[in-house]
Amino acid sequence: MLSILRTLWGVFLHAFRKRVTIEYPDRKAYLPPRWRGRIILSRDPDGEERCVACYLCAVVCPVDCIALQATEDAHGRRYPEFFRINFSRCIFCGLCEDACPTYAIQLTPDYEMSEYNRQSLVYEKEDLLISGTGKYPGYNFWRVAGVEIGRKTKGQSENEAPPTDLHDLLP
């Protein structure tokens, strides 16, 4: 009986505690800088698409929410013809970002993506592409990897180191 009264008194004292609730639209919770939110496709410093349509993100995606189709431009450079992410399936695990060899696909700290229509959660390339470089400002994949241009192969241009031999064990 005494324990019941003590419980009631203890519960009553909770009236003067600090509230746990964060009143969301008015006040927003603290987000860590590496928060995994809405996925974007970034561009390199020259303003070109970073994505080389290697399909690694689509392969690694555990819920298969990424769909793309590779194609080549006039110089033989690969880029995605379409790039589609179904955010109603996406679990924001960030594996696509880890898999991406060109830092093209990145997760941002934005989570306010609610829609009334399920179809609106399917983002096309226009919706995903941003104009900036995202988290890696100076990085340009083709500057690091080299590029074949007609007569010259990789590593043959001036001031260009030969590419790494993938089948060689030497450092």
Name the site residues for other proteins (rule: CB under 8 A).
Answer: 4, 7-8, 10-12, 14-15, 17-21, 23
Residue type (1 letter), 152: K
Query: Toward other proteins, which CB reaches closer, 20 or 169?
Result: 20
Give least dist CB 113 to other proteins, A: 22
Query: Toward other proteins, which CB reaches closer, 8 or 31?
Result: 8
Query: Toward other proteins, which CB reaches closer, 17 or 34?
Result: 17
Burial (0-12, 13-18, 19+ Cβ within 10 Å), 104: buried
Query: Toward other proteins, which CB reaches closer, 16 or 116?
Result: 16
Query: Toward other proteins, which CB reaches closer, 7 or 157?
Result: 7
CB atoms within 10 A of CB 103: 18
Give least dist CB 3 to other proteins, A: 10
Which value, to the nearest 10 degrees, does the dihedral of the CA atoms of residues 122, 125, 129, 134 take?
A: 70
Radius of gyration over alpha carbons of the chain, in Å? 24
Give least dist CB 13 to other proteins, A: 9
Give least dist CB 115 to other proteins, A: 21
Give least dist CB 29 to other proteins, A: 15
Nearest CA among 73, 69, 45 for reference residue 58: 69
Distance CA 131, CA 133 (A): 7
CB 57 within 8 A of CB 105: yes
